[in-house]
Amino acid sequence: MPGQSSNWPMWVWFLRRPNARARPKKCAAANDLGAKSEPCPPTPSPLLMTRAASPDALRVVTCRCEASALALTCTHHSCFRGPRRRVSASLVDLGQNRSVATKGKQKDPNRCDRLTLKAETKRRLWAESGGYCQRPDCRSFLFPDDGDIDFAEMAHIVAATTGGARDVPKEQMSEADRAHHSNIAVLCANCHTWVDKDPVNHPVQLMRAWKAGHRSDLERALGTPRFLDRQAARAYIEPVIAENQTIFETYGPLDDDFSDDRAHQWRTHAVRRLVPNNAKLVRALAVNRHLLTPEERSTADKFSLHQDEFAARHVLGDYATGTSRFPEGMDEILKDDE
C-alpha cells in the first residue's frame, strides 16, 4: 500500500488502525515463546483467525505473536513471528471474506471419515421408514405434532467414522459403503442415542434385523395381499380393472376422433392412473398366481408385457418397441360363473 514500507501481505493492511505506527509493546505471547527482545509489530487491524479443526470458533487477535502462540498461521510465514508450526489453520480476510489455508497433515489411509448422505439416499431411507422409528420396541411416529419438524436421525449401523460405535476396519467397509442406505437405520433421537451409547447390546446384526423387519412389516401392511380363494382376489382387482376401463372409454384413442384435447387427457390419465393401476394388477396376479387357471396365467403374462411397453411409451417416451394390445380375457380374469 502506498506510504508503507513492509513485507507484510496486502490483507494485513486492511482497515489500518490510526495508531498503527505507534511504538508497540512486547506482548505476553512473545515472552512465552521466547521471541526476540524487540517489540512486536502490531497488526494494522484485528485479524479474524480460526483453527481448521473448529472453523466456527473464530478468534480475533491483535498481535502476530499471539496468533503464533495460538498455533494460528497462514501460507505467508513472514506474517507471524515466533515458532512456525505445521498446523492446519485458516485466516479470513475481514474485507474480502477470503480464506488462506495451510497444507494440513496427510490423512491416515486406514481412517474413515463421515461422508455427507446423498439426497437420493435420504429419500430412500424416508420411504423405507414410512415415517416411523425402525426400532421394533419403539416405532414412534417421527412427526409428533402437526408441524413439519421431525425427530428422525440417520443412525449408521457400522460407524460412519473410525472409532465410532460398531466400527470395523476400513478394509472391511469403505467410506462409501458406510454412507450406503443399507448401512443406515432411521431412528428417533432417543433410540439413536441409546444404540450408540450401548453398542455392545446393539450389534450390527441386531440393527440390520430391525431394518429388515421394519420393511417386511410395511410390505405386509401396504403391499400386495396373498389371497386364499379366487373370489377374494377378484374383489381386490375388480375396482382397478373397472377404473381403467372407464378411463379408456372416456379418453381412449378413437378412429374418428383426433382432437388435441382428447389426446391430452388420454396422455395425462395414462401416466397418472393407468400406469400405476396396471402395475398394481401385475403385482396382484403375480402374488396370487396359484389361483389362476393355465389360460389365465397366459393372459396374466401377456398383460405384464403390455404393462411394460405401455409404461415405456407413456412415461419414458420410448415408441421404438411399440405397444402390445390389451389381452383378451383380462377383464374377466379370476371371475367365476355364478
Domain-by-domain residue ranges, the chain?
10-101, 119-222, 230-332
CA distance linking residue 142 with residue 186, whole number of Å = 10
CA distance linking residue 280 with residue 9, whole number of Å = 69
Q: In what order do the strands lie in the sheet with 89-92?
A: 54-63, 42-51, 89-92, 99-101
Structure confidence by residue, pLDDT tens digits, 136-170: 999 999 887 766 788 899 999 999 999 999 999 99
HSE (side-chain half, CA atoms, 13 Å) at 77: 7
pLDDT of residue 177: 94
CA distance linking residue 136 with residue 207, whole number of Å = 10
The label of the residue with cell 446393539 reads 202
CA distance linking residue 19 with residue 107, whole number of Å = 44
Q: For the chain, which ranges sit under pLDDT 50? A: 1-6, 10-62, 64-103
pTM for the model stands at 0.44
Q: Most distant CA pair in the chain: distance in Å?
A: 109
Could you count the other beta carbons within 10 Å of the beta carbon of residue 215? Answer: 16
**Residue 23 zone, left/alpha/beta (φ > 0; ψ -120 to 50; rest):** beta
Structure confidence by residue, pLDDT tens digits, 93-133: 333 333 333 345 577 888 999 999 999 999 899 988 988 99
Output the nine-digit C-alpha cell for 262.
382428447
The label of the residue with cell 507484510 reads 8
